[in-house]
Copies of this chain bind each other. A is one copy, B any other.
Amino acid sequence: MKKMQNALEFSHQLLSNHVNAGDTVIDGTVGNGHDTLFLAQLVGSRGTVYGFDIQERAIQQTQERLTAAPINHTHVHLFNRGHQEIASVLPPMAQVSGAIFNLGYLPGGNKQLITHAETTIQGLRGCISHLTVGGIIVIVVYYGHPGGQTEKNQVDNFCAALPQKQFAVLKYEFINQVHQPPFVLGIQKVS
């Protein structure tokens, strides 16, 4: 049986649909590096990936994953800094066509270290300020952990309030699940 795409699959689908080889993209939460590697392959060696994570362990894991992968990864720039610093790290004129954020905690890491609405929204604003027309920010919202519901609500509200003349905001969510699986928000700059 071919199931409907889950949140992770759909997040990659959105990025694949709207990011091209040679583009500049952002991983706002590199975590274990799966998405960073996915982005590195998507934009290719002519593109640029900026990856952020406040946990040194995440940066190390991601560096190892990139090194082990059969790709050139000199176009991936990792920063052991929180995504709230995206705007101050990116070159001022950088034009970004894609970004991804995984909200929650580092899988396998300290579950007390979670993303928080305030810094998440700062990170989103940083990405938005560099987003090209047609570009997309994808947020995978895990919210089953303590504190997750609060961040979910604030990020939801931030996204739903983005002006529709400049942005289309999509929500992709399974609504009959007991165990709060992650859902996806997609923010596209439309003008």
Contact = CB atoms under 8 A, between A and B. Distances in A.
B170 A174 contact: yes
Give the bracket for the number of chain A residues in contact with chain B: 20 to 34
A170 B160 contact: no
A87 interface: no
Interface in A132-191: 133-134, 136, 156, 159-164, 167-178, 186, 188, 190
Contacts of A18: 2, 4
Interface in A1-40: 1-4, 14, 17-18
Contacts of A172: 170-172
Contact of A1 (B3, B134, B175, B176): B134
Contacts of A170: 4, 172-175
How many of these chains are in the complex? Answer: 2
A131 B156 CA distance: 34
Contacts of A136: 4
Contact of A133 (B1, B133, B134, B174): B1
A21 B92 CA distance: 51
A159 B159 CA distance: 25
Top 7 closest pairs, chain A to chain B, by CB: A1-B134, A169-B176, A160-B175, A171-B175, A162-B176, A160-B176, A171-B173
Contacts of A162: 176
A168 B1 CA distance: 13
Given A4-B188, A164-B178, A167-B176, 4 more contacts: A4-B17, A161-B176, A169-B175, A171-B173
Contacts of A163: 176
